[in-house]
Chain A
């Protein structure tokens, strides 16, 4: 209770509120801009968080994550262009509603459903994170090793159609994490005698290069001069705001579905919105109206995609296993501030965690207010030419990378890793596998070595308890699933978060 009260104090300071509002404003805009999304915005914000306290940094990231997911729905409704992959299903009924002159109603539904989804999933996060934490208490080095390996296996396995490529990308990411001093022997590895590489590669240039820079290069490929043309808003917003309460069953089901899917590593809001849409259609008494402007067709994906945020944070905060790109970036920002996920996070930095939870609730409310005020204007921002965005974002990435260690070599690393990330994206290698392996690599290596030292070099030291055996079995199951879907099942599409 003490920790909660301390967290409450942290989250309700004027500073924290300014950070949350600023993050939400930026995220509302970038969320609505197709091609940008939560991942790129969060990656760009990391250098700024370097100058903040750990709690403020987490609050900013949380505000961006939550609001970006909502922002994607605005352009999906008005222009049939989803700002993020989490709002793709919203187009199906949102855009027809706009064409019928009910854009205001659809935007109201999206805003209300997203807010409810975000609020409910934060509450679920608080409950389930504490439950999972009681299991983490039983963890030793071997269990941490297997958990990290399982996390990596899951991400690779769900990169459907790219299992082998996922493993190759993960190998590269893992090897990048070995650059620098060996944690056990202290020997230098791949440093070429340079001081820059002695401490290993910093996580920020890796995140900015692999995710942000490669995304900018992807934007260069886009044909259109602007992201979209502006849309008009008509129809009752208030009617839309009340819709989630009118369709309460769909709302609750979509939130639970979004939360559960979010908690599964590798399956983010890009999947949950479609499943929630499909469920809403299947269980509806009037499925024929779906696709022609049914309010439930907007409600279900929008509630689910925001509920995914809370779900995705459970394994990230408790186990240190980020489920996708956005949570990997969040984890990177946490590590930058010395916040190690898991038991340590909750015991040593409990108030910060509670402050983060509360800030997610505040962010949801800020998102609601901002969305209500700004939804009409945000749509116009998508007419900004891409030719303007590309150089500005690139310079922002470079400046951000430099500002971490005041080292031009970090900028060079961003360019190099950006090119590699772009190659990954172009040829179907999931960059998230590389980044995740980069993050989990040191955890794997350190805990493997610790387990081996504890067992005096016998491999049985890797399976000292029934819990570790269970984790081994789960790892094998996920690996088997990956092999099965890659080689024995046809008709899959890659999952992207």
Chain B
């Protein structure tokens, strides 16, 4: 068995998640014609076997070496601002579609700066406005990208 760093229980869950993704690919490939399904079926099947092996490896290692009493520093940090920021990033495409580029970017930048605790609070709206305008001019005017104007038609 590989002798690498001590595992974290989260690794087991992530392996299960990847295994599920691969299983979805495998099941999906069953619906293709015999020629088209060869590669995805082989690769996903191979991946599932690897995931099971990795799961067993990690599980044995966890049983053998035990989990640290304290969660590692890394995982304490993940519990902090990361989920909120991920949520913010996940909402951006929706905001982009609904409110358009100008509003979505301004709001995203402002909330992002607030979530990451930018030290000078009064500068947050100003920085957000500058970032939005600079990006808008660069992409819309110079690169001629039709940035989304949203349902409100702004931008």
Contact = CB atoms under 8 A, between A and B. Distances in A.
Interface residues of A, number: 60
Interface string B128-140: 0001000100010
A390 B50 contact: no
Given A221-B77, A392-B131, A189 B147 contact: no
Interface in A15-30: none
A399 B116 contact: no
A373 interface: no
A388 B143 contact: no
A402 interface: yes
A395 B130 CA distance: 13
A168 B86 contact: no
Interface string B95-126: 01100010001001101110011110000000
Interface string B25-41: 10011001101110110
A187 interface: yes
B109 A391 contact: yes
A316 to B, nearest CB: 24
A223 B117 CA distance: 12
Q: How large is the interface on B (under 10, 10 to 19, 20 to 34, 35 or more residues)?
A: 35 or more
Contact of A171 (B46, B86, B89, B146): B46
Contacts of B109: 391-392, 395
Given A172-B22, A175-B47, A221-B82, 11 more contacts: A167-B50, A168-B54, A172-B47, A189-B32, A390-B112, A395-B112, A395-B131, A423-B17, A426-B78, A427-B8, A427-B15
Contacts of B43: 171, 174-175, 178
13 contacts: A164-B54, A175-B47, A217-B85, A220-B85, A388-B118, A395-B131, A395-B135, A398-B92, A423-B17, A426-B14, A427-B10, A429-B14, A429-B18
Contacts of A184: 35-36
A189 B34 CA distance: 12
A423 B14 CA distance: 7
Interface string A307-320: 00000000000000
Given A51-B143, A395-B109, A388 B127 contact: yes
Contacts of A164: 2, 50, 53-54, 57
A408 B90 CA distance: 12
B118 A406 contact: no
Interface stretch (A65-73, A83-91, A276-284, A410-418): A410-418
Interface of B: 1-5, 8, 10-11, 14-15, 17-18, 21-22, 25, 28-29, 32-33, 35-37, 39-40, 43-44, 46-47, 50-51, 53-54, 57, 74, 77-78, 81-82, 85-86, 89-90, 92-93, 96-97, 101, 105, 108-109, 111-113, 116-119, 127, 131, 135, 139, 143, 145-148
A161 B135 CA distance: 41
Contact of A387 (B21, B116, B135, B143): B116
B25 to A, nearest CB: 5
A491 to B, nearest CB: 8
A48 B29 CA distance: 36
Mostly, the B contact residues are helix
A175 B40 contact: yes
Contacts of B105: 395, 399
A398 to B, nearest CB: 6
Given A391-B112, A391-B116, A396-B135, A171 B14 contact: no
A411 B108 CA distance: 14
Given A178-B39, A182-B35, A395-B108, A220 B82 contact: yes
A418 B29 CA distance: 25
Nearest to B90: A415
A450 interface: no
A403 B143 contact: yes
A345 B92 CA distance: 39
Nearest to A412: B93
Interface in A366-419: 385-388, 390-392, 394-396, 398-399, 402-403, 406, 408-409, 411-412, 415, 418-419
Contact of A48 (B81, B143, B147, B148): B143
Contacts of A399: 101, 105, 135, 139, 147
Given A175-B40, A221-B82, A190 B25 contact: yes
B139 A403 contact: yes
B92 A411 contact: yes
Nearest to B82: A220
B44 A171 contact: yes
Given A175-B47, A399-B105, A411-B96, A187 B33 contact: yes
A165 interface: yes
A496 to B, nearest CB: 14
A398 B113 CA distance: 16
A185 B145 contact: no
A168 B53 CA distance: 10
B51 A223 contact: no
**Of B25, B39, B40, B92, which is in contact with the most chain A CB atoms at under 10 Å from its CB?**
B39
Contacts of B96: 398, 402, 408, 411
A242 interface: no
Given A161-B2, A189-B29, A175 B113 contact: no
Contacts of A445: 39
A178 B42 CA distance: 12
A188 B10 CA distance: 35
Contacts of B39: 174, 178, 445, 448
Contacts of B143: 48, 51, 403
A223 B76 CA distance: 11
B20 to A, nearest CB: 12
Contacts of B44: 171, 175
Contact of B118 (A174, A220, A387): A387
Contact of A391 (B8, B90, B113): B113
B118 A385 contact: yes
